[in-house]
Amino acid sequence: MAKKTENTNMVERFDEFKEYKHIDKTTMISVLEESFRNVLAKMFGTDENLDVIMNPDKGDVQIFQNLEVVPDGEVQNPNLQISLSDARADNDPDAEIGEEHTKEIIFADFGRRAILNLRQTLQSKILDLQKEAIYTKFKELEGELITAEVYQTWSKEILLMDEEKNELLLPKSESIPGDFFRKGEMVRAVIANVDNKNNNPKITVSRVSEQFLRALFELEVPEIHDGLINIRAVARIPGERAKIAVESYDDRIDPVGACVGVKGSRIHGIVRELRNENIDVIPWTSNPSLLIQRALSPAKVSKIRLDEEEKRAEVFLAPEEVSLAIGRGGQNIKLASMLTGYEIDVYRETGNEDIDDIYLDEFKDEIDEWVIDALKNMGLTTAKAVLETQRDILIEKADLEAETVDQVLSILSAEFEEEADNTADAAADEEEPTA
């Protein structure tokens, strides 16, 4: 009776694994049978003549060994053969030489070591299945929002636990600047990456990806969740500023108003979650020129020239609008470029926009390359763009000495004065009367 109880307990223990580790019943039976076969194969040298019958409804297992009946005294391999007298004594009085005799094996008869080996084999296989199930589950959830509890913090990453005690990693590089979490605190993030190197699932979550911002809007704005509003583009500088372009599939719904909410009720929660990251919501348009104008808000654009093939845009603004277009630390123009997919060059209106421009790289013989790089980091890639930007802004945003800026402006201005003189001379020659 104890033997059957032992087998029953083993099946019941597997049922517990199935319940807590999400292993389905079919897989449960298959793994248990495979585990029995692996242990039996080591004991008998082979499992080819063994039948393992699982009875999950009864909670037990039956094992049968199929042996060839041979004459008494001629048994060469007891794992494959049985003598005639032994077969007849084993509830088979009609056994004959050459026939097959089926003998039931009581696994518990092999002692505690065999049972321990079986349990260890089961545990190993179930652990592998568990890891595979975790990988499959979270791989399908990449990009989805998740809430987990802070379990432990280290210098370079934070270990989180979800409600099912799965481990998630939030690296420092995927945290918003200013993020600080204590043990036991609940954290929101998106599942950024799931890999399974050496059958060891690693789940990385992120709070800086654009998908995190998308997921928060979907959570806070029912119209996005219901598919009535679509987020067409997102650009983020985590913890600082973001721009999001939205469109509505229902003419009765204002996409910007729906995302912001009454008195900012919807967007305020998102801003707090993002450590006071300022968010500009603009209406999407398939017209790239209009989209760039909206993306550069709050600056007011006077004129735009597009090179759709090169994905470049020359934007002309009134002098007082240039600093707004560039933004603090160049954030506004950088985000506008990210959102629209265009490299944007900002120009101050002078009335001479039709004169050919020159890229800064053409001045490397006269201007140090590090100075050119500092200007380009502001989004200023041409001579006109620099000349049409206020001197004080160049000093502050490019972090250059006033003397250096004055030298650059002098070199660039001289180039255009020379071109203007040449143009004037050519025009005079054309107007000179002929004899």
CATH of the domain at 193: 2.40.50.140
- Domain range holding 348? 286-424
Inside any domain, residue 256: no
Contact yes or no for 181/187 (Cβ under 8 A): yes
Contact yes or no for 335/323 (Cβ under 8 A): no
For range 56-74, the mean pLDDT: 82
Q: What is the radius of gyration, based on Cα positions, of the chain?
A: 37
- Give how many domains the chain has, as a whole number: 3
Shared-domain flag, residues 122 and 161: no
Inside any domain, residue 435: no
Shared-domain flag, residues 299 and 180: no
Shared-domain flag, residues 290 and 420: yes
Q: Tell which of 154, 174, 208 closes a domain.
A: 208
For range 165-192, the mean pLDDT: 95
Shared-domain flag, residues 399 and 334: yes
Write the CATH number for 343.
3.30.300.20
> Which pLDDT tens digit goes with each residue over 4-34?
444 445 555 545 544 545 567 777 778 888 8
Inside any domain, residue 388: yes
Q: Tell which of 167, 184, 208 closes a domain.
A: 208
> Which pLDDT tens digit goes with each residue over 260-318?
999 999 999 999 999 999 999 999 999 998 999 999 999 998 888 888 889 999 999 98
Q: Tell which of 119, 137, 155 closes a domain.
A: 137
The 10 Å Cβ neighbour count of residue 120 is: 12
Q: Which stretches of 279-433 are DSSP H helices?
A: 288-295, 322-326, 331-340, 369-376, 383-387, 391-397, 402-431
Write the CATH number for 93.
3.30.1480
Inside any domain, residue 156: yes
What is the DSSP code string of 357-377?
P-BGGGGTTTS-HHHHHHHHT
Shared-domain flag, residues 94 and 171: no
- CA-wise closest residue to 34 among 130, 111, 121: 121
Residue 243's beta-bridge partner residues? 235, 280
Inside any domain, residue 174: yes
Inside any domain, residue 271: no
Cα dihedral 205, 206, 209, 213, rounded to 10, equals 100
Cα–Cα distance measured from residue 338 to residue 311, given in angstroms and rounded to the nearest whole number? 12
Inside any domain, residue 257: no
Inside any domain, residue 433: no
Angle between helices 331-340 and 288-295 (to 10 degrees): 150
